[in-house]
A = this chain, B = another copy of it.
C-alpha cells in the first residue's frame, strides 16, 4: 500500500512547561485531532521562552516533519517573544490586522464586558506578520498564524496557536483541521479500541502474542493501561478506506473474542461514560457514598454532559459523624470495626440508597496515605460496596501508590465494580 506519510511535530513554548509548573495537556489534544485525519505525530518538543531555543526547535523540527504546530508564547505579557521571532524566521514584517483589531474590541466590549481596561499589550495582539495566513480565534484575542516554507524542495506548513487550552482547541477543530487537507493528501487512519478490565498488561499481551505477531505490517496493536484497566487499540494506516475497514473490523472481532472475558466495551469510552450508557439504557439511577475518594467518583460521573439523567448525587462522608447522621451507619459498627471496614462500607451503601433514593450505589472507605495506616490496615487498604435494594456486594483493595494515585485508582476500580454489579443485577 503506497501512500504519503504525513508527520507532524508539536512545539510547545513556555518556561512554565520546563519548570514543571504546568502539565502539557495541549499536546495530547492536538495529537488526537491530527491522528483522526491521518497525521502521525512524530515528535513533541517543549522549549522555554528563549529566542535561540525556539529558533533552533523550528530548524530541527522541519527536518523531521511536514507539519509543525507551535503553541504558546502569544500571550500579552512581557516574556513573550514568539511573534517577532516568527516574523523574522519567515521573513515578514509586523502589521496591524484590522479584522483582529475589530475582534479584540468586540471581545472586550461584548464578551469580557470590560472595555475600559484594554491595555496596549492587548491591542498589540492585532499585530501579525504580513507573511502569515491568519486563522480566526473566536474564543480569544491571540490569532492563529499559518506559514509555509520549502525544505529540500518539499512543502512545510507551520501553524502557531495560543497556549490557552480552550482557545487552542477552538482553533484546532475549526481552523487547523479543515485547512490542512488543502496542503497535503492525507492517508486514511482507522482505530478500533477494546477496553478491558480485570487483567494486567503483561498477561493480556502474553495471551494474544500469536494474534499480535500475525497482524499485517500496516496494522499496529497498542496496549494502553490506566488505573488497573487496559485499552487495546488497533490502528490501520493506508489509502483505501473501504478495504481497510473490512480488514480492521474482522481483526477487531477476533481480538474481542480473544479478550471477551475482560471486555468492558468495544468503543473508546471512559468507564464513567460506559456506566452512564448502561444506566440510561436500563432507565436506572445511581448515587455515591464516598469517604476515601472524597468526591472524586462524583466528579468523574458529573464530568459527563447529561449525567443528571441518571446521577442523583453523593454523600461525601469524610467525617464519621456524617457517616452516622446522614448515612445511618451505626456507632456500634464504627466503634467495633472502624471506618475502613466491610461492615461500615455496607451500611454506608445501604444508607445512601435510602437517602439518595436511587437504584444503585457505590460506597468507598479506605486509607489513602501518606498517614493513617496501621499494621492491620496499611495505607492502601480500601473497602468497596455496591448495592441495590435487593443485594450488597463488597470488595477489598490493597493499593500501593501515593495518595493521589490511590484516590484515582480506587475511583476507577469502584466504577468498574459497580458496572459489573449493575450488569448482573438488573
Residue numbers of A with Cβ under 8 A of B are 15-25, 27-33, 35, 40-48, 53, 57, 60, 75-79, 111, 117, 119, 121-122, 139, 165-166, 169, 201-203, 205-206, 209, 212, 220, 222-224, 226, 231, 233, 235, 288, 290, 293-299, 301-303, 305-308, 311-319, 321-322, 325-326, 355-357, 369-371, 400-405, 407
Selected from B35, B212, B293, B321, the residue in CB contact (under 8 A) with A312 is B321
C-alpha spacing A181/B18, complex, angstroms: 20
Could you say which residues of chain B place their CB within 8 Å of the CB of A294?
298-299, 301-303, 307
Contact across chains for A307 and B318 when beta carbons are under 8 A apart: yes
Could you say which residues of chain B place their CB within 8 Å of the CB of A76?
201-202, 205
User: Given known contacts A201-B76, A322-B313, is B117 in contact with A305 (CB within 8 Å)?
Assistant: no
With both chains docked as a complex, state the minimum distance between the C-beta of A300 and any C-beta of chain B, in angstroms. Answer: 8
Contact across chains for A404 and B40 when beta carbons are under 8 A apart: no
10 A-B Cβ contacts within 8 A? A16-B222, A20-B33, A21-B224, A42-B47, A43-B47, A76-B201, A76-B202, A77-B223, A121-B202, A296-B302
Contact across chains for A35 and B20 when beta carbons are under 8 A apart: yes
C-alpha spacing A20/B24, complex, angstroms: 11
Could you say which residues of chain B place their CB within 8 Å of the CB of A317?
313
C-alpha spacing A40/B50, complex, angstroms: 12
Selected from B20, B222, B303, B322, the residue in CB contact (under 8 A) with A29 is B20
Could you say which residues of chain B place their CB within 8 Å of the CB of A209?
78
User: Given known contacts A205-B76, A313-B319, A316-B316, is B303 in contact with A404 (CB within 8 Å)?
Assistant: yes
C-alpha spacing A22/B23, complex, angstroms: 12
Contact across chains for A18 and B46 when beta carbons are under 8 A apart: no
Question: Which residue on B lies nearest to A327, using beta carbons?
Answer: B313
Contact across chains for B32 and A119 when beta carbons are under 8 A apart: no
Which of A60, A119, A302, A355 gathers most chain B CB within 10 Å? A302
Selected from B19, B27, B122, the residue in CB contact (under 8 A) with A31 is B19
C-alpha spacing A227/B38, complex, angstroms: 34
Interface SS of chain A = mixed
Contact across chains for A42 and B31 when beta carbons are under 8 A apart: no
Could you say which residues of chain B place their CB within 8 Å of the CB of A306?
371
Contact across chains for B32 and A28 when beta carbons are under 8 A apart: no
User: Given known contacts A27-B20, A28-B23, is B121 in contact with A205 (CB within 8 Å)?
Assistant: yes
Selected from B17, B40, B121, B235, the residue in CB contact (under 8 A) with A44 is B17
Could you say which residues of chain B place their CB within 8 Å of the CB of A31?
17-20
Could you say which residues of chain B place their CB within 8 Å of the CB of A79?
222-223
Contact across chains for A19 and B45 when beta carbons are under 8 A apart: no
C-alpha spacing A202/B294, complex, angstroms: 36
Could you say which residues of chain B place their CB within 8 Å of the CB of A22?
28, 224, 226
Selected from B201, B295, B319, the residue in CB contact (under 8 A) with A316 is B295
Selected from B40, B165, B290, B370, the residue in CB contact (under 8 A) with A18 is B40
Contact across chains for A405 and B165 when beta carbons are under 8 A apart: yes
Contact across chains for A303 and B77 when beta carbons are under 8 A apart: no
- Contacts A43-B45, A76-B201, A305-B370 known; list 14 others, CB within 8 Å: A15-B222, A20-B35, A23-B28, A24-B28, A42-B48, A43-B46, A77-B201, A78-B205, A78-B212, A294-B303, A296-B299, A296-B302, A308-B319, A313-B322
Selected from B28, B57, B295, B355, the residue in CB contact (under 8 A) with A296 is B295
Give the top 8 A-B pairs by smallest Cβ distance, nearest first.
Answer: A294-B302, A295-B298, A295-B295, A20-B32, A20-B31, A314-B316, A44-B46, A20-B28
